[in-house]
Chain A
Amino acid sequence: MLRKLIDESAAKSPWIYHINAGSCNGCDIELVSVLTPRYDAERCGFKLTGSPRHADIVVVSGPITVQTRDRVVRTLSQVPEPKVVVALGSCPRSGNVFKGSYSIDGPLDKYCHVDVSVAGCTPKPEAIIAGLAKAAEILKEKRKEMH
């Protein structure tokens, strides 16, 4: 009973931690706009946290640059289970216009399992919300798998 409640609420209260892995800030601004009164992601329980220890969903934006690579991996590893990784925008999934640059060491799925990928440069806020909702569902599934 309690376990079921916990599973259910996993999808209802996904807390987001946002990593900028060399992004041009376009996706970052769009992610913030998702939480503004206009789109109000908080009505689904989304909340931006300041520490990976609190997070359920890790949103990574930007092509993984050489400088940020280790830091992204380290931070991802510090998120407690269950966790979901969301690649925000085209950069983390392909490198986008930065592909082939000497300073790019992407894509993100070289380093960890990406659960949801929101494409676009930049993705629309609606798309981001859809992706986050998808991530919340996956979070619930992962939580169920934990026991």
Chain B
Amino acid sequence: MNIVLIILKWLFHILVFPGFLFTLCAALLLAGIDRKLVARMQNRVGPPLLQPAYDLLKLFGKEIIIPRQANKKAFLSAPAVGLASLLVTSLLLPFSASFVAVSGVADVIVVLYLLTIPAVAIIVGAASSASPFAGVGLSREMVAVMAYELPLTIVLVTVCRKAGLMMDESGMTFSLATVMQYQAEHGAMITKLSMIPAALAMLFIIPCEVGAHPFDIAEAETEICEGTLAEYSGLPLAFYELAHYVKMFILTSLFCVLFLGGFTTGVVVVDLILRLIFCVVVTFLCITVPHAVCARFKVEQVFKFYWTWVLGLALVSLLLVWLGL
């Protein structure tokens, strides 16, 4: 009886909240808001809020073309793997200090690694499609991963150290739940002076990790014909689009966990709404505004930007935290 309940609870977590269904709805909503906001900033009416959902549904109904030279199995399974790993990540993100579906001693490292899997899935899918455009695209995608991964690591370490100094006797924590706990007790991370550069760095990292507009070097539709996705059509393409939206939600959500964690009430529903509002704000700041304002960067510009300015911001924060500020 007990075991059945546990399994049911797990299935609920995986399939409904905060796993599959919730993440999906939130991600589609977020993507719709993003597109609408971009349109409004350009003084357009913009697509309806449900446009991402329409796009996905339409793609479900399209024919699937598998190029003759492609490795069929890798071509079809890569999108599913990428999406699956994102959904697992969604289980690891706490909603408040008390509510987290799956908690671990060191889930920060797991999140970091799970977030690289979608990029790897895109790359393997692109590689298996045997298109030269996809080849160029995957090379660029990997450069982008190399570019943002270093500052992202430092930001995560900084947050872990900041929370660990107070909450853990070893001076370092790797648990997102502890980070939330810290913020619940001592106020959100963003209110700490030493964490502001790290938060800024994270705001720069999110669009690149998502592959949003100024950093979408891998999918540059005008130069390399959608790059990594050049050969995809129909359902697998829908999976990639979905993974793109979900990634947007997961990363903004991660930002909320890391820097805006203190503002919780303890009531799950209120926390949820708060989280969604924060996600929209973060999305607006780091995805919508650059999208509306910037033109696409060149590949080496992206790399240089992340390994100088963003890295510098993250390092400043780490140093300040290490000095105990």
Contact = CB atoms under 8 A, between A and B. Distances in A.
Q: Is there any pair of Cβ atoms, one from A and one from B, under 8 angstroms apart in the complex?
A: yes
Q: How large is the interface on B (under 10, 10 to 19, 20 to 34, 35 or more residues)?
A: 35 or more
A100 interface: no
Interface residues of A, number: 30
A134 interface: no
Contact of A6 (B39, B57, B221, B231): B57
Contacts of A5: 57
Contacts of A37: 42-44
Which of A37, A45, A51, A143 has the most CB atoms of chain B within a 10 A radius of its CB?
A: A51
A40 B45 contact: yes
A50 B225 contact: yes
Contacts of A78: 65
Contacts of B224: 50
Contacts of B54: 9, 12-13, 45
A143 B58 CA distance: 9
A49 B35 CA distance: 16
Interface in B31-51: 35, 39, 42-48, 51
Contacts of A50: 219-222, 224-226, 230
B237 interface: yes
B229 A40 contact: no
A44 B220 CA distance: 23
A146 B61 contact: yes
B234 interface: yes
Given A50-B222, A51-B221, A6 B60 contact: yes
B221 A53 contact: no
B58 A13 contact: yes
Contacts of B133: 51
Given A13-B51, A42-B47, A80-B64, A54 B58 contact: no
Interface string B7-19: 0000000000000
Contacts of A143: 61
Nearest to B51: A45
A51 to B, nearest CB: 4
A49 B226 contact: yes
Interface string A120-147: 0000000000000000000000010010
A53 B232 contact: yes
A58 interface: no
Contacts of A28: none
14 contacts: A6-B58, A9-B61, A13-B51, A13-B58, A43-B44, A43-B48, A50-B219, A50-B224, A51-B231, A53-B65, A53-B230, A53-B231, A53-B237, A81-B62
Interface of A: 2, 5-10, 12-15, 37, 40, 42-45, 48-51, 53-54, 56, 78, 80-82, 143, 146
Given A42-B35, A43-B45, A50-B222, 9 more contacts: A9-B57, A12-B48, A40-B46, A42-B39, A42-B46, A50-B225, A51-B221, A53-B237, A80-B62
Interface of B: 35, 39, 42-48, 51, 53-55, 57-58, 60-65, 133, 219-222, 224-226, 229-234, 237
The 4 A-B residue pairs with the shortest CB-CB distance, nearest first, are: A50-B221, A80-B63, A9-B57, A6-B61
